[in-house]
Structures are given as structure tokens and as C-alpha cells.
Structure 1
């Protein structure tokens, strides 16, 4: 499955997409600072197991974010989908440091959100991130998500308690953003 946007191609990530660069993102302290994966060693085997598990899951979709050149710059995931409620989570990683701050995250969020609303029976999407992760928060807000809440001192970040920002989007939120 492939989702195309103006500058990106999102395609379901395969074990074959796991490269030394990808493992490097997952092991880089700066890149994984706000990821839960930072709590364990990331090896080709552990990353392959994760990609294979998600590929086999009926309620999760992991897309690699690729430039037209075929360069893999990050990942975006939808799920798990909770069909009874019509909701799903969205998570994002722009692993290639040279591609951060260029709007690729926002573009990928918009594309995968449209896919979720149009094809997965989802009525609402949610995302959460550590409060200091301003780049991720900005990308989701620009894509049309709205701030819904703050979980105070919810997680540990480098030995300090850290707030968690909660964002959400409905199809209407996304359309309002396009009109702005």
C-alpha cells in the first residue's frame, strides 16, 4: 500500500527497509530522546521483529516516509485502531536529521490522517508527545490536530518528571486546517 503526497511517498514498511541508517536513528540519543524505544538496545533483529509484528497486525499500519529519490527519512504509524470507538493513535519519527524542520512531518501526518479517515473507518485520531518535543507538537498542530490536554508529570525524561501533551483530530479538524 502506498500513499502519495506532494513531496513524499508513504509505503508500508517492510523488513527489507531496515538499513544501517534506520538502526542508527533508533540508536541515536538525540533522535530517540522522546521515543519509548530509547529504553532498550535497538538492533537489526529487534527492529525487524517490531516491523514484522506491526505488518502482521490487523489494527496497525506502519509506513516508511520516503522522498521521491527513494531515500527513507522516517516512519509514521496509525494504530492500534479501536474499531468500537472509531479511534486510532498516530505516531511519527523523522529519523533523518537533515530532513527535520522542512515540513515533511506535517505533510506525512496530513497524508496518513486522510488515509485513516477515508479507508480505516476512523472518526478521530490522537497523538501524544513529551512537552519538550516542540517539533513534533508543531507538526501535528500544523496538520490540523488540536491540543486537547496535558498530563502533568506523566513520564520520566532524563530523570525528571515530564508533562505529556495530548492532541486529537477529527475529519472536520483536518478540513478546517486546509481552509486556513
Structure 2
């Protein structure tokens, strides 16, 4: 099964990873600003990334990893992931990363999140989708609030980066909140 998500008229497509994505995905992971905004403190070898792409390119009941690409050119913009799936409670975590300043602020992340939220609520039958966002990322917080996420709490001083500790804001959206904003599929 191959997964391909796109809204009518959208310039982006969400699709599963392919082996041919290796070089673009490596560049994505090595984007300094993306790493800073996501709090990533790991480095990965080419072999590790190649194995990871094979893993996420195969459908799983535990997670949904989709790459965000421009439909017209196939250029990799980032990824959006549903993970920490909890079938008993019908909940999951969502995370997103967009690489390169030239791709940020253009609505790609908002559209990718909306597509993945719709997939989570409609196709996977989730009731609650949650995330964590660092307090130093007001642009992302604004996007999540615009999508309907509500703040639920704060984990204080959870990340040490650039010589300072940073809070993690916890947010979530429920299926009825999503449907009130975006209707049924």
C-alpha cells in the first residue's frame, strides 16, 4: 500500500518515503534551522538514514511518516508524522518539520498539518491528536492555534539549547474541534 494525500488545488503532496529520497532527506536532516526549531540534538549517518527511509517507506500500524513534497517539482519540503499511536484511547502525537527558510511562511506546513489531521481523524479514527512545541517558536504556535489546537500545559525547561533552557508547550485538538472547523471529509 502506498499512501498519497493531497487536497484539491494544493501545491503539496504528502507521500511515503522512497529510496530515491535519500540525498534530499539527508539535506533536510542537516538543515540547522530545522534542527534548532525541533530541538533535535542528534546526528545521523547516511547508512542510518537509508535504513530509516526503508522503515518509514513501509506502512505501519504504529506510525504514519509522510514526506511533504511540491507536486510540481517533487522537491522535498519536510515531513509530517503521526506517532505514539494509542489505539485504546484513539490518540496520537503529531510532529512536522519544514526545511529551509525559503519554504517557511508559505502555508506548506499549515496545509500538510491539515491533511495529516484529516487522515488521522477520518482514516485512522483518532479522537485526539497532540503535540509539543518549543516556546521560542511563535510562528509554529500561531499555525497550530490557527488549525484549532488548544494549549493544555507547559513542560518547563525541557530543552537545553544555545546556552539556555526552553519550555515545551503542550497542545491538542479533538476530532469534534477539527470537524467544527473543517467539516466532514
TM-score, shorter chain, exceeding 0.5: yes
CA distance in 1, matches of 2:153, 2:109: 21
2:94 is aligned, of 45, 70, 90, to: 90
- Gap regions ≥5 residues in structure 1: none
Tell me the equivalent position of 2:45. Answer: 43
CA distance in 1, matches of 2:142, 2:75: 24
- Gap regions ≥5 residues in structure 2: none
CA distance in 1, matches of 2:92, 2:53: 18
1:74–1:96 Cα contact (<8 Å) kept: no
TM-score where L is the length of structure 2: 0.86
Tell me the equivalent position of 2:168. Answer: 164
- How many Å apart are 1:138 and its aligned residue? 1.9
152-161 or 163-172: bigger deviation: 152-161
Tell me the equivalent position of 1:58. Answer: 61
| Structure 1 vs Structure 2 CA RMSD | 1.8
- How many Å apart are 1:68 and its aligned residue? 1.7
- How many Å apart are 1:53 and its aligned residue? 3.2
- How many Å apart are 1:60 and its aligned residue? 0.6
1:22–1:95 Cα contact (<8 Å) kept: no
2:31–2:100 Cα contact (<8 Å) kept: no
